[in-house]
Structure 1
Amino acid sequence: MWTELSDPAILQKMGRRIRDYRMRMEMTQSELAEKSGVSMGTIVRVEQGNPISTLLLISILRTMGLLENLEVLLPELSISPLQMRKLQGKKVQRIRHKKEE
């Protein structure tokens, strides 16, 4: 579902969801802004689907009690990339041909 959306469409959908959560919490935009330590304009921008910085988004999610959802977004790898590479063995990086004399 998300993969079918454009980046701006994803931002709009995220903004609507943040607005819906805020309203369910019976919190005004200004209350969320104050508790999150962000400007009222930032709350308006995010709810309209406009881009904001990751730090501001984290602050808003923390205030709304949604920060734990980042675990779903970026789950911890069960095996590190370095370990995975060692298990896969050495891959050919480039092929060289000998020059003919």
Structure 2
Amino acid sequence: MLFKLATPQEVAGELGRRLRERRLSLNLTQAETAARAGTSLGALQNLERTGLVTVEVLFRVAGALGVLDQLEPVFVTRSVSIEQMEAASQKRRRASRKGDKQ
């Protein structure tokens, strides 16, 4: 799934499906995973079904499944050079109309 072409609900659903697949690959039950994550069984079931849960539940479950580190790139601040900042702050120019002289 290309996340950039999906709706937020589709991305959340895909995330829930991927976490469910990870849980199953580790041969864990939902109850075991919820206990490891320190969250309710209902919250885990909702995550796997819809992907729509709190960020805290997402982080807890990802940690319990050993994939929390894979979320890190989402929160990395990109460094920007001075040249990039200056270029972004320059006033935008438009092309001249035909017949106009510059």
User: Into which bin does the TM-score normalised by the smaller protein fall?
Assistant: 0.7 to 0.9
C-alpha separation between the residues in 2 aligned to 1:56 and 1:89? Answer: 37
C-alpha separation between the residues in 2 aligned to 1:89 and 1:48? Answer: 42
Q: Tell me, yes or no, if the aligned pair for 2:23 and 2:29 is still in contact at 8 Å.
A: yes
Residue aligning to 1:56? 57
User: Greater shift after overlay, 54-63 or 67-76?
Assistant: 67-76
1:22-60 deviation per Cα after TM superposition (whole angstroms, max 9, x unaligned): 000100000000010000001100000141110111111
C-alpha separation between the residues in 2 aligned to 1:75 and 1:35? Answer: 27
Matched, 1:10 2:14: no
TM-score, normalised with respect to structure 2: 0.74
C-alpha separation between the residues in 2 aligned to 1:50 and 1:14? Answer: 6
C-alpha separation between the residues in 2 aligned to 1:76 and 1:66? Answer: 20
| Cα offset, 1:75, TM superposition | 2.6
TM-score, normalised with respect to structure 1: 0.75
C-alpha separation between the residues in 2 aligned to 1:37 and 1:91? Answer: 50
Report runs of 4+ in structure 1 exceeding 4 Å deviation: 87-92
Sequence identity, in percent? 22
Letter in 2 for 1:57: L
| Cα offset, 1:71, TM superposition | 2.1
RMSD (Å) for aligned C-alpha atoms = 2.3
Letter in 1 for 2:52: P
Report the secondary structure of 1:69's partner residue. helix
C-alpha separation between the residues in 1 aligned to 2:34 and 2:5? Answer: 31
| Cα offset, 1:76, TM superposition | 3.4
Distance 1:78 1:39, change over 3 A: same
Residue aligning to 1:98? none
Matched, 1:34 2:35: yes
| Cα offset, 1:73, TM superposition | 2.1
Letter in 2 for 1:33: A
> Structure 2: which 5+ residue stretches go unaligned?
92-102
